[in-house]
Structure 1
Amino acid sequence: MRQILTDVLAFDHPDPLEPGWTVWDRLCASATAAVPVTGAGVALMTVKGHGGTLAVTDGPAAVMEDLQQTTGEGPCLNAFDDRRPVLQPDLAQAMARWPGFTSAATAAGIAAIFAFPLQVGAIRLGVLDLYRDTPGALDTLQLAEALDHASAATTILLDLQYSAAPGELHQELADAADGRREIHQATGIISVQASAGLNDALLLLRARAYAEQRQLLELAQDVVARRVTFYPEDGHHE
């Protein structure tokens, strides 16, 4: 893990991966180089679900994170809730477990997913998601590499937050969490418009985003801006 941190944090490295990349971009790139996977994503997590994406390597990885936030299901949520890795070497076989997520993820070209919780002791912070565009399991050495990258991500998260002002979220983490705040705002608005509890309001928001194949955050922003409403008498009134 020490070597991973050295490489990821070495912004003055003589051969930088890309100018302007964040530490999370570097971590995802390092993980995909060390483990035989196609792409990666790092997400903040809360007890209420997906808390915002810190970085993704490519389009399918972005779909992977967006879908888990939109549907409220998927490997990262189980890894976070159960506090252990979720290894799904053939995603097509997981339709019964994550029906909404699996159908859309496989359509995006995701064939296998490996989710690793970012945690230390009782503190849970997020998840490192790795995906493959072909089915296949990780062997023992590959799994160890993935776990080392998850440990490195946990260390970076803790260090970032340690450097933040007391009672505040570090700016990098706050930027990723901004979307979660807008989703909370939209949920409250929908709760009033649809005369529903907050949990049911969030389900309505997720269901509509899924049905319309939109990102959850994008729809939430439209709700907050009153471009989309959820009044029962209007159906999908806008």
Structure 2
Amino acid sequence: MSVENLAETFVELADTLVADFDPAEFMHLLADRCVSTLGVDAAGILLADHLGELQAVGASSDRARLLELFELQHRQGPCMECYLTGAPITVTGFTEPPQRWPEFSSAAVAAGFGAVHALPMRLREQTIGALNLFTVTENDLGETRVRVARAMAEVATIGLLQAQVISHRELLAGQLQHALQSRVLIEQAKGVLAERLQVDMSTAFQTLRQYSRNNRLHLGKVAEDVIDGTIDMTALTASRA
């Protein structure tokens, strides 16, 4: 974890906090930066919607996303408990009994993970979600990396709340709901592209994201155009080059 990489991470996260804020892209940027900066193997983000229900809104890999969906479906696990309690939770190994969440532990091992560190996304007394860091090996991240991870979670939380959102909760609900709706469209578009281009889901997503960045379009809008069949497939596939 170099100083240069760390500086670039926070600059990129802060640069995203502009008027034309794209929550879906921001969540994926955060997950990717957790992997590259902290040296973890995968990262995922859970956010509460306007009804207080947790939703998986960003992940660095499909394995992490599916594991978080498993946790939400069974309504138990370290990431969910982290959100409910507002306190960090560390599981340094899934194979040693006794296990607090046996079903989640089995699913995590099956997904190839050995440990998870769940950090609350909170500002003062308000917790809006959880940032979850997965490693293949059974270990502890260490104090330095945990402190950096907490700082990244705090920056992300501030990005979602912002000053005007804190005073107008309706705007926050709208932003989070937009992120959740975009997530559904993105997953559908990934499937469409994977079939059309005969590529895996990860490659399909990277194609969507690169086109979005190259053309300064919201990720959800690009996904919608792919589903509707209105996007220029030649330009889209060229973005993979």
Q: TM-score scaled by structure 2? A: 0.61
Structure 2 residue matching 1:60: 3-state secondary structure: helix
2: distance between equivalents of 1:161 and 1:109?
A: 41
- Decide whether aligned partners of structure 1 residues 38 and 162 sit closer, same or farther in structure 2, where only a CA change above 3 A counts: same
Q: How many residues align?
A: 172
Over the aligned positions, Cα root-mean-square deviation in angstroms equals 3.3
Contact residue 95 and residue 102 of structure 1 kept, 8 A: no
- Decide whether aligned partners of structure 1 residues 94 and 173 sit closer, same or farther in structure 2, where only a CA change above 3 A counts: farther
Candidates 39, 43, 48, aligned match of 1:40? 43
Structure 1 residue matching 2:100: 3-state secondary structure: coil
Find out whether 1:63 has 2:66 as its counterpart. yes
Match of residue 119 from structure 2: 116
Unaligned runs of 5+ in 1: 12-20, 180-238
User: Bigger CA drift: 91-100 or 107-116?
Assistant: 91-100
Candidates 84, 88, 95, aligned match of 2:87? 84
Match of residue 194 from structure 1: none
Find out whether 1:8 has 2:26 as its counterpart. no
Structure 1 residue matching 2:96: 3-state secondary structure: helix
1: distance between equivalents of 2:70 and 2:97?
A: 15
Match of residue 186 from structure 1: none
AA aligned opposite 1:84: A
Match of residue 138 from structure 1: 141
- Decide whether aligned partners of structure 1 residues 127 and 31 sit closer, same or farther in structure 2, where only a CA change above 3 A counts: same
Match of residue 193 from structure 1: none
Find out whether 1:103 has 2:106 as its counterpart. yes
Deviation at 1:70, TM superposition (A): 0.7
Structure 1 residue matching 2:83: 3-state secondary structure: helix
Find out whether 1:24 has 2:27 as its counterpart. yes
Q: TM-score scaled by structure 1? A: 0.62
Contact residue 50 and residue 177 of structure 2 kept, 8 A: no
- Decide whether aligned partners of structure 1 residues 176 and 164 sit closer, same or farther in structure 2, where only a CA change above 3 A counts: farther
2: distance between equivalents of 1:163 and 1:122?
A: 12
Contact residue 117 and residue 134 of structure 2 kept, 8 A: yes
- Decide whether aligned partners of structure 1 residues 84 and 110 sit closer, same or farther in structure 2, where only a CA change above 3 A counts: same
- Decide whether aligned partners of structure 1 residues 2 and 34 sit closer, same or farther in structure 2, where only a CA change above 3 A counts: closer
* Matched-pair identity in %: 24
Deviation at 1:50, TM superposition (A): 5.0
